[in-house]
Structure 1
Amino acid sequence: MRILSIQSSVAYGHVGNSAAVFPLQRLGHEVWPVLTVHFSNHTGYGAWRGPVLDPADVREVIEGIADRGVLGRADAVLSGYQGDPAVGSIVVDTVARVKALNPDAVYCCDPVMGDVGRGMFVRPGIPEFLRDVVVPQADVITPNHFELDFLAGIERGPDGAGGTRTRAAVLDAVDAVRARGPRDVLVTSVLHDEVPEGHLEVLAVSDAGAWAVTTPLLPITPNGCGDVTAALYLAHLRTTGSPSEALARTTGSVYAVLEATIAAGTREIALIAAQDAFAAPPRTFEPTRVR
């Protein structure tokens, strides 16, 4: 599979394309990374160096790929954090061009906006742009629970108060978002009243049904795991055609990365050390059909 991945990049650590490209390559996929920023490190450190690429430069790189006559060979477009509506517009335009050349291509959007405890951490206007413009164009989306509620129009406080509190309510929120475009939805970091204490849930929903995996809540919240999750789910969904199988493989691999990161005692995810978990995803969790 050939994946055009339009995301950020860092020299030190693993977020954006610096988190997504290697796992995809380890699975045997060809990745064409297009960078939106190139920072020294991720912004979670509070300080970083490097440029935010001008949207015109991002577009030029994509035009250069088109000049090679290969844009239509892309099987998928993947995008993550979008810090500027102008870049988001380029992503949407590129998706349209790829699909015009290859109608079988899909677009996977990780709608990065915020999280419980942090609220929205993107620039004002970005959440609404993602909700109203980008997400309706996507075939696959991978929001966390907080982001799902926003996309579904459900009020939730920055501290996580409110929002969907049962699995049925979460599934209703997914259905509301799917009615606007994306057919496959992976919801991460799901916490509702039916999730056992000390655990979280990951939900995969498609036209074929809905499946859940419950995983222990590990004492670590490193940057980049969402980027890895979106990339792996896209890859496994496209290669297996099964949301349940893609869910099992993705959660097994990401959990292995987290365990390796804890063992290493590092702030950055142990992407290289855990690479065998990408090539041969451990069967750590078995999905349960919930609809």
Structure 2
Amino acid sequence: MKILSIQSAVAYGHVGNSAAVFPLQRIGVEVLPVYTVNFSNHTGYGAWRGPLISPEDVREVITGIEERGVFPAIDVVLSGYQGGEGIADVVVDAVARVKAANPDAIYACDPVMGNARSGCFVAPAIPDLLRDRVVPVADIITPNQFELGYLTDTAPDTLESTLASVDLAREMGPRTILVTSVERPDREEGTIEMLAADDRGAWIVTTPHLPFKANGSGDVTAALFTAHYRATGSASDALARTASSVFGLLEQTLASGERELQLVEAQEHYAHPRMEFEVRQVR
């Protein structure tokens, strides 16, 4: 499997491509990373250095890959945090060109905007660009519950309202939805959930909620779910594997006392997930 991954990159820590590439490689996926920013560290520190890469330069890198004759072999285009406003058009164009070369290729979009606790943390124009230009051409999207609500102009909280929001999102274009950080009021205390839905149904998985913020965990989640779903065609299997791998990564990071994801140290969790969490069909 080959994935063209168009995301941010940092030198220190693990977010964007700096979070997604290694776990994908560890499960045997060939990744072609294209950077939208090249920062010293993620912006959660409040200070960082490095360039926001212009849409023209991002497009040039993608064109160079195309000129090597690689596009027919690309199975997935994956995008995450997009940085500047012009990146959306670059991504949409890249998806069209890859699919023209390989009609079986799919596009997975992680519509990074923000979360329920912090609100939106991207440039003001990005959420509307994602909703109106990018998500409609995606085959898979991996929003958190907050982002799902923005995309569908809803406020999902219960299982029923989250499923209803998923249905609205699927009407926008993508047929497969992974909702991360599902927090419904009637869930068991100290837990958090993820929900996946496609044409075959909908499934949910519950894991313990670890009490810390882990920048980049969503990027790992989107990458692993996309790869597993592409490989198996099973949303429930992809959900089970992803939940196990990401929980193992977060558990190991928490135990380390470090702020940044222990991405390399936790590699066995990607290669050999423990499959310890039950996936339940809810539709």
Report the TM-score when normalising by structure 2.
Answer: 0.98
SS of structure 1 residue aligned to 2:206: strand
Tell me the equivalent position of 2:171. Answer: 179
Q: Which moved more, 1:77-86 or 1:203-212?
A: 77-86
SS of structure 2 residue aligned to 1:85: coil
Tell me the equivalent position of 1:31. Answer: 31
Q: Deviations over 1:126-181 (max 9, x none)?
A: 11110111001100000000000111112xxxxxxxx2231011000000010110
Tell me the equivalent position of 1:45. Answer: 45
Tell me the equivalent position of 1:157. Answer: none
* Match among 197, 217, 221 for residue 225 of structure 1: 217
Tell me the equivalent position of 2:256. Answer: 264
Q: Distance in 2 between matches of 1:5 and 1:251?
A: 21
What amino acid sits opposite 2:148 in the alignment?
A: L
Give the conservation status (yes or no) of the 8 Å contact 2:76–2:105: yes
SS of structure 2 residue aligned to 1:172: helix
Q: Which moved more, 1:48-57 or 1:266-275?
A: 48-57
* Match among 197, 205, 209 for residue 201 of structure 2: 209
Identify unmatched segments of 5+ residues in structure 2: none
Tell me the equivalent position of 2:115. Answer: 115
SS of structure 2 residue aligned to 1:253: helix
Q: Distance in 2 between matches of 1:266 and 1:23?
A: 19
What is the Cα deviation at residue 222 of structure 1?
Answer: 1.0
Tell me the equivalent position of 1:89. Answer: 89
Q: Which moved more, 1:250-259 or 1:280-289?
A: 280-289
Tell me the equivalent position of 1:245. Answer: 237
What is the Cα deviation at residue 240 of structure 1?
Answer: 1.2
Tell me the equivalent position of 2:148. Answer: 148
Give the conservation status (yes or no) of the 8 Å contact 2:8–2:83: no
Q: RMSD over aligned Cα, in angstroms?
A: 0.8
What is the Cα deviation at residue 70 of structure 1?
Answer: 1.1
What amino acid sits opposite 1:264 in the alignment?
A: S
Off by >2 Å, runs of 4+ in structure 1 = none
What is the Cα deviation at residue 40 of structure 1?
Answer: 0.9
Report the TM-score when normalising by structure 1.
Answer: 0.96
Give the conservation status (yes or no) of the 8 Å contact 1:8–1:35: yes
What amino acid sits opposite 2:109 in the alignment?
A: C
Q: Distance in 2 between matches of 1:42 and 1:3?
A: 23
The answer to whether residue 15 in structure 2 is matched with residue 3 in structure 1 is no
Q: Distance in 2 between matches of 1:224 and 1:112?
A: 11
Q: Distance in 2 between matches of 1:211 and 1:261?
A: 27
What is the Cα deviation at residue 232 of structure 1?
Answer: 0.1
What is the Cα deviation at residue 239 of structure 1?
Answer: 0.8
Tell me the equivalent position of 1:127. Answer: 127
What amino acid sits opposite 1:256 in the alignment?
A: G
Give the conservation status (yes or no) of the 8 Å contact 2:52–2:84: no
Q: Distance in 1 between matches of 2:125 and 2:165?
A: 22
The answer to whether residue 278 in structure 2 is matched with residue 280 in structure 1 is no
Identify unmatched segments of 5+ residues in structure 1: 155-162
What is the Cα deviation at residue 72 of structure 1?
Answer: 2.0
- Count of matched residue positions in the alignment of Structure 1 and Structure 2: 283
Give the conservation status (yes or no) of the 8 Å contact 1:220–1:258: no
